[in-house]
Amino acid sequence: MARTPTLVTKRRQLLTALLGAGLLGVNSLTARANPASTPVPAKRRHALVIGNARYAVPANALVNPVNDARLIAETLRKRNFDVTLLTDLTTPQMENAVDEFATRATNAELAMVYFAGHAVAVDDVNYLFGVELAVPLGEVRIRTAQQSSLSLRRVSQALRRANIRARLLVLDACRTNLTRGAASPGLIHTVPAGGELIAFSTQPGATAEDGFGKDGPRHSPYAFYFAQGLDALPATAPVENFFKQLTGDVQVATAHRQVPHYASSLVGTVTFTTLADAQTPAVPGAAASGQAAQAGRGPSPTLGRDLIRARMSAWEYEIERGAQYLDEPRLSALQARAKAGDVVAMTTLGLIAENGEHVEQDYKAAARWYQRAADQGFAPAQTYLGELTGMGRGVPKNYNVAERLFREAAEAGHHRATLDLLDLRVRMGEPMDPREWATALQDAARNPAGLPLPGMPPIQGLPDMPWMRALGVRPPGQP
C-alpha cells in the first residue's frame, strides 16, 4: 500500500523543487532545514612577513627589506591571506613571532613565512639575523650564527608542530657560506619536510641584490617580481609554477647575477588560492595549463636593463675590492659562490689570477674564469676577457674577438668597455673621432661604471689608452 506523504516530506519536496528552479540558494536551504546551523568558513591562509633593514651596525644596514615586506604583505592580502607584517625585529622577537604565528595558524591549510634581511648559511642550514647583530656581517663566525640567530630549521619545526598541511618558507637574503670558526656539534642540513616548499632568492653561496638602484623600484628584484607574479598568477596555477617563473624573472633582471632556487616536498596540487587533495599526485596537464595561462608574462626588459646599468659600478667595485683584499676564508667563499654560478665571484677569481698578487699569476686561468661569466652575458667579465684577448694574454691575440666582447659589454652599459672599444678601433687603424671620445668620456663621468674608484687598484686594461691619459689615470705598470 502506498504511504501518504507526511508534512515533512511535502516540505522537502517543495524545497527541492525551488532549489532546482533556482529560486532558493544552497545556504538558504541549509538554514531553513536546520536553522541552528551556520555555514562553516573556509580555512584561511596565513602569512608571517618579516623585513629587517635597520641593523645595529651601520655596515649591515639595508635599504629595501622593510619596503619589500610591506609590498609582499599587501600582495598576499589580495589573495585573502591573513597577514602578520613585522619589521626590524631582534632575534628573540623573531622567535616569539614565529611561535605566535604557528599557534594562530594551527591546522591551517597553507601558511607562509617570508623573511627579507641578512642571513648566512652553514653547511646548508640557513640562519636569519635580527637587527641586534653586533658585528659586520663579514666578521660573523659560525658559532655566532648558530647561537645568535633564528635558523630556518626552527621555523620549519614550529609550523610542522602546528599541523599546517602546506608550508612555504621564503628567504629573500644572501646565502653566503660561513667558513670562519668552528661549528657546533649536531648540525643538520636543511631538507624540506613533507608538505613543505623552501624558496631562496639566490643560489647557494651567493649574495642577493638589495634593490634596482636609485632610479628603480624601491624593492629587491626578488620581492618586486614576487609581487608582480602573484598579482598575475591564475588561481589554478600550482605554487611550483609560480616559483619557476620567479626564477626566470630575477635571472633576466640581474644578468644571471642572482639565480633563485627552491626545494619542495609538496604533494598534490597546491595553489595560493586552494589546497587540493594532498593524496593526489600533481597532474602534468594541470602544470602545463598553469604555464600556458602565464604566457606573455615575464620580467620587464626595461627594468632588467636599468638594474644592470645601475649596479654595474657596484659590481665592478665588488670585483676589484674582492681581488685586492683576499684571505683564505674569502677565497673559499668566492670559490663556493662561483661553483654555484655567481658571475661576480667568477669574475673576481679571474681578476685574482690575472693580478697575481695573492696567487701565482695565471692568465689562462683568468681567461677561463672570465669566459664562464662572459658566457652568461656578464658585462664586466666580457670587458676583462676582451682586454686579455686584445693583449694576447692567456688566449690568442684577436682584435676581432676583443671588439665583439667590448661591443656586447658596452651595449649592456659598461662604460669601461665603451672606452676599450674606441681605443681598440684606433689600434686597428680606424681614425679617432674626437666627438665619440668626448661623448664616451662624458657618459663615463656621469655614471662611471667600470672606471677606477677611490681606493681601487689600477685598471688592468690595455696599456696606455687615450681615455686613461684624458682622465689622468695611470696605466698599469707605469709610474
pLDDT category of residue 235 using cuts at 50, 70 and 90: confident
Kindly list the strands in the beta sheet with 110-116, ordered across the sheet, starting from the edge strand earlier in the chain: 81-87, 45-51, 110-116, 166-172, 196-200, 261-264
pLDDT at residue 266 is higher than 60: yes
Beta-strand relationship, 196-200 and 150-151: unpaired
Check: CB of residue 413 under 8 Å from CB of residue 312: yes
One-letter amino acid of 184 = S
Is the predicted pLDDT of residue 37 greater than 50, yes or no?
no
The mean pLDDT value for 462-475 works out to 46
Which whole number is the average pLDDT over 460-478? 45
pTM equals 0.62
Confidence of residue 297 (pLDDT cuts 50, 70, 90): very low
Task: Please give the pLDDT value at position 305.
Answer: 58
Distance CA 439, CA 419 (A): 10
Better-predicted residue by pLDDT, 137 or 2: 137
Q: Cα 248 from chain centroid? A: 10
Average pLDDT on 216-241 reads 89
The amino acid at 79: R
Q: Percent of the chain having pLDDT more than 90?
A: 36
- pLDDT at residue 12 greater than cutoff 90: no
DSSP secondary structure letters along 306-336: HHHHHHHHHHHHHHHHHHHS--HHHHHHHHH
Q: So what's the architecture of 45-299 in CATH?
A: 3-Layer(aba) Sandwich (3.40)
Can you give the pLDDT at residue 440?
64
What is the model's pLDDT at position 41? 41
Please state the domain extents for the chain.
45-299, 304-471
Three cell numbers written together for 21: 528552479
Rounded Cα–Cα distance for residues 410 and 109 (Å): 50
pLDDT, residue 141, reads 87
- The whole-angstrom distance between residue 110's C-alpha and the CA centroid of its chain comes to 23
Per DSSP, the residues of 12-75 read: HHHHHHHHHTTSS-HHHHHHHH-TT--PPPPPPEEEEEEE----SSGGG--SSHHHHHHHHHHH
Domain 304-471 class in CATH: mainly alpha
Kindly tell me the burial class for residue 233, based on how many C-beta atoms sit within 10 Å of its own C-beta (0-12, 13-18, 19 or more). Answer: buried
Model pLDDT, residue 420: 84
Residue 446: CA count within 13 A, CB half-sphere: 8
Helix, strand or coil, per DSSP, at residue 245: helix
Say yes or no to pLDDT of 31 above 50.
no
Give yes or no for residue 22 having a pLDDT over 50. no
Q: Give CA–CA dist 454/435, Å, rounded.
A: 28
Cα–Cα distance between 400 and 34 in angstroms, integer? 84
Q: Which residues contact 276 (CB under 8 A, 6 or more apart)?
A: 268, 269, 270
Residues 253 and 307: their CA atoms lie apart, in Å, by 7
How confident is the model over 146-162, as a mean pLDDT? 91
Enumerate the H helices of 164-238 as residue ranges: 221-232
CB 155 within 8 A of CB 97: no
Instruction: Render pLDDT for 310-352 as a digit per residue (tens, 0 to 9).
Output: 677 778 888 988 898 888 888 888 888 888 778 888 999 999 9
Estimate to the nearest angstrom the gap between the alpha carbon of 209 and the chain centroid: 7
pLDDT > 80? residue 308: no
What are the pLDDT digits (tens) for 122-131?
Answer: 877 889 999 9
pLDDT: is 280 or 428 the higher one? Answer: 428
| Cβ atoms 177, 119 nearer than 8 A | no
Judge if 45-299 and 304-471 fold alike in CATH terms.
Answer: no
Q: Is the pLDDT of residue 33 over 70?
A: no
Q: What is the pLDDT of residues 372-386, one digit of tens each?
A: 988 888 889 999 999
Residue type, 102: A
**pLDDT value for 186:** 38
Checking 35-44 for CB contacts under 8 A at 24+ apart, the result is 43/107, 43/108, 43/109, 44/80, 44/81, 44/82, 44/108
Question: Three-state DSSP class for 294?
Answer: coil
CA distance 245 to 229: 8
pLDDT at residue 313, as a whole number:
74
* Structure confidence at residue 287 (pLDDT): 35
The dihedral sign for the CA sequence 207, 213, 214, 216: negative
Query: Residue 304: which pLDDT band, with cuts at 50, 70 and 90?
Result: low
Average pLDDT score over residue span 400-411: 89
Calpha distance 315→209 (Å, rounded): 11
